[in-house]
Structure 1
Amino acid sequence: MAARQASLVDLLSDEAVNDPTTYFNRVRDEGPVFWNQRWNGWIVTRHSDVAAGFRNHEQLSSDRFAGPFAEDILESKTKYTQLIEFMSKWMFTSDRPYHTHLRSLVNVAFTPRSVEVLRPRVRELVHSLAEPLRERDRVNFLAEFAFTLPVIVIAEYLGVPAEARQQVREWSEHLGAVVFVAGDNPDRFVTAEKAMNNLVDLIRPIVRARAVEPKDDLISAMVNADVDGDRFTEEEIIANAVLMVFAGHETTMNLLSNATVLFHRFPDTWHRMSEDPRLARTAVEEVLRYDGPIKALARWATEPFEMGGKRIQRNDRVLLVQHAANHDPAFFENPERFDPARWPNKHLGFGQGIHTCLGGPLARLEAQEALTYLSREFASIEVLTQELTYNRTLVSRGLRELDVRFHQR
């Protein structure tokens, strides 16, 4: 028993990073609410507990600047002033009532209708990016499609200049090392501070220009958002625009690349989707369940309470593992079967409750359009990368590289 538990200690082990399904299934077998001594917190893997944890806004906090997560960050406050200042204004790192202020104003600007309006442009971009890849023997799928599509979409939606795209990717990767907890990167706060400075310098003049002369973009909508007299400050607009630039392409890039790997592993599902394009919508949900772009999200307890038969103490860390919840055999029938027609599909890929991923509808739209076009135009997408390895982070599920070949019909 002790040896078995010891093998579950390292949340950034090769198995945990590259094969999280096997790893977290073993954690769940050990205990659905399991104390991890190395992380110094609880690992939650059962669907019912993870879903309840996401909805428990009274006893579980998302605030990274209070409780047990605050020590490392606040000790660095004098060194990394821009990083701390703007991350503290992000929606997903805040609790009510400040979260309510931010989310209600963003909801005025970032509506489902404003996202759906983007579908024709996304469809056009998918076509223009995929066509040059037809005759290639080897394609860097991450750089040439999975990154490029969402970064163009979010840049255009926000009003960020197209020429800044490549820089945005580099800066976002540096922010991601902090946000996604890249525990093997000791310099992550240094590079993230520089990245935040650069992103703020990029976005601030856009915000000020839109305040004078609004355009048909999201930053203009945020500048003019008003809920009963409540409005964003300039710093809040900049902070959450940075968040959208970062999260708006990172999550979708990983969703597209993980989908490509799954359809390579299960080629019959690609053929099914090509015969019935309507499956693209449910297929995206199944990718989010089976191997979504976010593995887990952390919370901390504001007071003692019971979860999964365990007593959670005040200030305890709690890791809600969506990936494990989405493979829970007590909730999903045949969870290791990848079924693009699975419905209903009550996965937790984008979380639940007030912190449900704001960009979920946009990520879904982009993935739907990409899968619809690619499955219609190509007989298969062959993965050429011999050994798939993933970024060594606690939170995200993203490949380091992915080379493919598009096979024509």
Structure 2
Amino acid sequence: MPSGRPNLSLPEVRQNPYPLYAQLRREAPVCELEPAGWAISRYEDVAHVLKNPRVFSSEGLRFAVEPPWFGRSNPWTDSLVMKDPPHHARLRTLVSRAFGSSLVSRLEPSIRATCETITSRILERREVDFVQDFALPLPASVIGGLMGLDPSLQSRFKKWAEDIVALSVSRPEDTELLASARTTVEEMERYFNEVMDHRRREPGEDMVSDLLRARVDGEPLTNRELMGFLFFLLLAGLETTGNLLSTSTWILSREPELLARLRADRSLIPRFLEEVLRYEPPVQATLRLCTEDTTVGGVPLPKGAMMYVLLASALRDENHFPDAERFDLDRTEPENLAFGHGIHFCLGAQLARVEARLALETMLTRIGRLSLRAEQVEWLPGVTVRGLKALPLEVRS
């Protein structure tokens, strides 16, 4: 390791974190970070942490969206992803019903129709930013529709997501970034309060109305729990699917042989998406907090230690994935951690996979030419989430 502790939030690391991840796995698989926290980088250790919520608390995630210098509360900290048992089970039951396989099957026709509409739109324009013109509108339409949100606000949804994600790399001196994030949280709270007030007066067939009607042990959800759910549903629904779709398209724009292979055999699309999830996962890391003195990978960690559990590093662990740095469509290794593991496995994983599959099926059927209009792409700065800031493409039928 170079002198000093590694810093995951440096711009050069966020542009390409994988060389640092590989070095950590080789030389210091459990190590202290600058300015704070510990990195867990090997597959075996990451899986161990995720499987043991009693010792490794999800409360650690609060630091990513509500750092001490943020200066106000963030309702996302009241969502189920930051809860431990038994409170986690109480909240997860509500959402797991909503995201079951029946919902996904019911949504497939409308998702496919949305993909067709968006594809027609980008073919008319020919030169597009795929992130803004496809990867955002699709999940925004799906999750916005499920929640009954105003579709005219889709562009604002993306800014909200980017501001919250940027908190994971913020520092006390980042006054402009922090001010923008505080404004975003205030806007989201104001908007969701208006939505809930409207649904109380006029309930509908949407997730917000369902959550307002829900009872757990005979009691309704508190306003903080409701707000936490709405933050979580919107932001997670946008970021995971949007980043998976834009990254998948970026890879295809750079690999014409891979693109041709998928065109020739659409049944390979699910396998392709699984390899994208391994090779460039939308969720790069999660955070955990040690509830007691413990050890990980033979390294002692004190009670209260905050850990960056590097999912993206684990998914390129050469001891678990042969030739891990190569994108391999024929890879068969199981246990993809891209959507988490254990009690915090992503509830929207099936929906995200279906949205991405239907999008690629539509694009591969209707788009004949897909070429990148830039030598390099810029990645968003978050440590916990990885996605493209923009993807300039030329598309032709």
Distance (Å, rounded) in 1 between the aligned partners of 2:264 and 2:107? 25
Structural mapping, 1:279-294, within 5 Å:
279-294=268-283
- Among all aligned residue pairs of Structure 1 and Structure 2, give the percentage whose two residues are the same amino acid: 29
Contact 2:286–2:309 under 8 Å retained in 1? yes
Query: SS where residue 382 of structure 1 aligns?
Result: strand
Tell me by how many angstroms 1:227 deviates: 4.2
1:54 and 2:42 correspond:
no
The worse-fitting range, judged by mean Cα deviation, of 375-384 and 270-279 is: 375-384
Distance 1:212-1:137 versus aligned 2 partners, 3 A rule: closer
Pick one of 342, 362, 366 that aligns with 2:351.
362
User: Shift of the alpha carbon at 1:191?
Assistant: 2.3
**Kept in 2: contact 1:270–1:380 (CA 8 A):** no
C-alpha change, 1:108 and 1:231, in structure 2 (3 Å) is: farther
TM-aligned CA deviation for residue 150 of structure 1: 0.8
Which residue type is aligned with residue 46 of structure 2?
V
Partner in structure 2 of residue 310 of structure 1: 299
The CA deviation at 1:109 is 3.0
Q: Which residue of 1 aligns with 2:150?
A: 161
Cα distance in 1, alignment partners of residues 224 and 101 from structure 2: 25
Distance 1:164 1:15 in 2: 32
Contact 2:38 2:305 in 1 (8 A): yes
Q: 1:202 is matched with which residue: 191, 200, 207?
A: 191
How far is 1:308 from its partner? 0.8
Greater CA deviation, 387-396 or 117-126? Answer: 387-396
Report the count of equivalent residues. 395
Q: Report the counterpart of residue 121 of structure 1 in structure 2.
A: 110
Q: 2:130 matched to which residue of 1?
A: 141
**In 2, distance between residues paired with 1:351 and 1:156?**
25
2:219 matches 1:223 = no
> 1:262 aligns to what?
251
**One of 162, 179, 182 as aligned partner of 1:173:** 162
Q: Specify the alignment match of 2:373 in structure 1.
A: 384
Residues 1:109 and 1:227: Cα distance change in structure 2 (over 3 Å)? farther
- Matching residue within 254, 262, 265 for 1:276: 265
Say whether 1:28 aligns with 2:25: yes
Range with greater deviation from structure 2 (16-25 or 148-157): 16-25
Where does residue 44 of structure 1 map in the other structure?
40
Q: CA deviation at 1:168?
A: 2.2
- Select which of 312, 329, 338 maps to 1:349: 338
CA distance in 2, matches of 1:8, 1:391: 23
Cα separation, partners in 2 of 1:65 and 1:291, compared to 1, 3 Å: closer
TM-score, with structure 1 as normaliser? 0.89
Distance 2:139 2:156 in 1: 14
1:9-68 per-position Cα deviation (integer Å, ceiling 9, x unaligned): 2212344212222221111111222232x13322111111111111110111111598xx
Q: Give per-residue Cα distances to partners, 1:174-211, cap 9 Å, x unaligned.
A: 22222x43458444443222212211222223223333
| In 1, Cα distance between equivalents of 2:104 and 2:342 | 20
Q: Which runs of 5+ in 1 are unaligned?
A: none
For the residues of structure 1 that align with 2:272 and 2:209, how far apart are their CA atoms? 34
Contact residue 8 and residue 23 of structure 1 kept, 8 A: no
- C-alpha separation in 2, matches of 1:135 and 1:345: 40
Instruction: Give the equivalent residue in structure 2 for 1:63.
Output: 59
Counterpart amino acid of 1:181?
Answer: V
SS of the residue corresponding to residue 5 of structure 1 reads coil
Q: Determine the structure 2 residue equivalent to 1:88.
A: 77
RMSD of Structure 2 on Structure 1 (CA): 2.3
Does 1:11 pair with 2:8? yes
Matched-pair contact (CA < 8 Å) for 2:5–2:32: no
Q: Distance in 2 between matches of 1:314 and 1:187?
A: 34
Contact 1:382–1:405 (Cα < 8 Å) also in 2: yes
| Helix, strand or coil at the partner of 1:406 | strand
Instruction: Provide closer, same or farther for how the CA distance between residues 219 and 324 of structure 1 changes in structure 2, counting only shifts above 3 A.
Output: same
Q: Which amino acid aligns with 2:114?
A: L
Give secondary structure in 2 for the equivalent of 1:210.
Answer: helix
Task: Flag the 1:330–1:395 CA change in 2: closer, same or farther, 3 A.
Answer: same
Secondary structure of residue in 1 paired with 2:103: helix
Matches within 5 A, 1:330-341: 330-341=319-330
